[in-house]
Protein backbone atom coordinates (compact mmCIF):
# COMPACT_ATOMS: atom_id res chain seq x y z
CA UNK A 1 0.00 0.00 0.00
CA UNK A 2 1.53 3.35 -0.97
CA UNK A 3 2.49 5.37 2.10
CA UNK A 4 0.54 8.39 0.78
CA UNK A 5 -2.70 6.35 1.08
CA UNK A 6 -2.09 5.15 4.66
CA UNK A 7 -2.97 7.60 7.41
CA UNK A 8 -0.01 8.35 9.69
CA UNK A 9 -1.70 6.87 12.75
CA UNK A 10 -2.46 3.50 11.06
CA UNK A 11 0.02 0.67 10.62
CA UNK A 12 -0.15 -2.05 8.00
CA UNK A 13 1.59 -5.31 7.17
CA UNK A 14 2.89 -5.96 3.68
CA UNK A 15 2.83 -9.66 2.70
CA UNK A 16 4.54 -10.51 -0.58
CA UNK A 17 4.95 -14.30 -0.36
CA UNK A 18 3.62 -17.43 1.28
CA UNK A 19 5.93 -20.34 2.08
CA UNK A 20 4.95 -23.76 3.43
CA UNK A 21 7.46 -26.46 4.41
CA UNK A 22 6.55 -29.88 5.80
CA UNK A 23 8.29 -33.22 6.28
CA UNK A 24 5.20 -35.13 5.16
CA UNK A 25 1.62 -34.31 4.16
CA UNK A 26 -0.74 -37.22 3.49
CA UNK A 27 -4.22 -37.19 1.98
CA UNK A 28 -6.31 -40.33 2.44
CA UNK A 29 -9.57 -40.95 0.58
CA UNK A 30 -11.91 -43.22 2.53
CA UNK A 31 -14.97 -45.18 1.35
CA UNK A 32 -17.49 -44.69 4.15
CA UNK A 33 -20.42 -46.41 2.43
CA UNK A 34 -22.02 -49.28 4.26
CA UNK A 35 -21.23 -50.23 7.83
CA UNK A 36 -17.44 -49.77 7.76
CA UNK A 37 -14.86 -47.21 6.68
CA UNK A 38 -12.38 -48.61 4.15
CA UNK A 39 -9.38 -46.62 2.88
CA UNK A 40 -9.23 -46.36 -0.92
CA UNK A 41 -6.27 -44.17 -1.82
CA UNK A 42 -3.43 -42.35 -0.09
CA UNK A 43 -1.42 -39.54 -1.65
CA UNK A 44 1.68 -38.40 0.25
CA UNK A 45 3.97 -35.43 -0.24
CA UNK A 46 7.39 -35.76 1.48
CA UNK A 47 9.94 -32.95 1.87
CA UNK A 48 7.26 -30.49 0.77
CA UNK A 49 8.29 -26.92 -0.14
CA UNK A 50 5.54 -24.66 -1.46
CA UNK A 51 6.30 -21.04 -2.40
CA UNK A 52 3.73 -18.58 -3.72
CA UNK A 53 4.56 -14.97 -4.56
CA UNK A 54 1.67 -12.55 -4.21
CA UNK A 55 1.01 -9.69 -6.63
CA UNK A 56 2.05 -6.19 -5.67
CA UNK A 57 -0.94 -4.02 -4.87
CA UNK A 58 -0.70 -0.72 -6.72
CA UNK A 59 -4.00 1.05 -7.31
CA UNK A 60 -2.45 3.40 -9.90
CA UNK A 61 -1.00 0.62 -12.08
CA UNK A 62 -3.56 -1.18 -14.30
CA UNK A 63 -1.03 -3.94 -15.08
CA UNK A 64 0.19 -5.35 -11.73
CA UNK A 65 3.00 -7.83 -11.36
CA UNK A 66 1.35 -11.25 -11.55
CA UNK A 67 1.95 -14.04 -9.04
CA UNK A 68 4.20 -17.01 -9.52
CA UNK A 69 5.07 -20.00 -7.40
CA UNK A 70 6.63 -23.41 -7.12
CA UNK A 71 6.09 -26.77 -5.45
CA UNK A 72 8.88 -29.22 -4.75
CA UNK A 73 8.28 -32.58 -3.09
CA UNK A 74 8.61 -36.33 -3.27
CA UNK A 75 5.22 -37.63 -4.38
CA UNK A 76 3.97 -41.18 -3.75
CA UNK A 77 0.58 -42.86 -3.93
CA UNK A 78 -0.84 -46.15 -2.65
CA UNK A 79 -4.21 -47.87 -2.92
CA UNK A 80 -5.76 -50.24 -0.41
CA UNK A 81 -6.06 -53.81 -1.68
CA UNK A 82 -9.12 -55.25 0.10
CA UNK A 83 -8.29 -58.83 -0.93
CA UNK A 84 -4.85 -58.68 0.72
CA UNK A 85 -5.92 -56.17 3.41
CA UNK A 86 -2.87 -54.03 2.71
CA UNK A 87 -1.53 -51.00 0.87
CA UNK A 88 0.02 -51.38 -2.59
CA UNK A 89 1.80 -48.66 -4.56
CA UNK A 90 0.14 -46.88 -7.47
CA UNK A 91 3.50 -45.27 -8.16
CA UNK A 92 6.76 -45.32 -6.24
CA UNK A 93 8.18 -42.15 -4.63
CA UNK A 94 8.89 -39.63 -7.38
CA UNK A 95 10.77 -36.34 -7.05
CA UNK A 96 8.47 -33.65 -8.40
CA UNK A 97 8.98 -29.96 -9.22
CA UNK A 98 6.14 -27.76 -10.46
CA UNK A 99 6.60 -24.09 -11.35
CA UNK A 100 3.80 -21.75 -12.39
CA UNK A 101 3.46 -18.14 -13.43
CA UNK A 102 0.35 -16.19 -14.34
CA UNK A 103 0.87 -13.93 -17.34
CA UNK A 104 -1.86 -11.96 -19.07
CA UNK A 105 -1.39 -11.88 -22.83
CA UNK A 106 -1.30 -8.45 -24.45
CA UNK A 107 -4.13 -9.55 -26.77
CA UNK A 108 -6.37 -10.07 -23.74
CA UNK A 109 -5.64 -6.57 -22.48
CA UNK A 110 -6.99 -4.93 -25.66
Does residue 82 lie within any of the structural domains? Answer: yes
Does residue 1 lie within any of the structural domains? Answer: no
Does residue 8 lie within any of the structural domains? Answer: no
How many domains does one find in the chain?
A: 1
The pLDDT value given to residue 54: 83
- For residues 89 and 109, the model is more confident at 89
Expressed as residue numbers, the domain containing 69 is: 13-56+65-100
The pLDDT value given to residue 105: 66
pLDDT digits (tens, 9 = 90+) for 18-59: 999 999 999 999 988 878 888 999 999 999 999 999 876 666
Does residue 87 lie within any of the structural domains? Answer: yes
Do 100 and 70 meet the contact criterion of CB atoms below 8 Å apart?
A: yes
Does residue 108 lie within any of the structural domains? Answer: no
Evaluate the CA torsion angle 17, 18, 21, 27 in order and state its sign: negative
Does residue 71 lie within any of the structural domains? Answer: yes
The pLDDT value given to residue 79: 96
Does residue 38 lie within any of the structural domains? Answer: yes
The pLDDT value given to residue 81: 93
Does residue 106 lie within any of the structural domains? Answer: no
Amino acid sequence: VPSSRVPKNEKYISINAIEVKANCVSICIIDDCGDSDVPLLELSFSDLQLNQLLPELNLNDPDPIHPQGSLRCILASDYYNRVLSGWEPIFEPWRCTIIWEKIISQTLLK
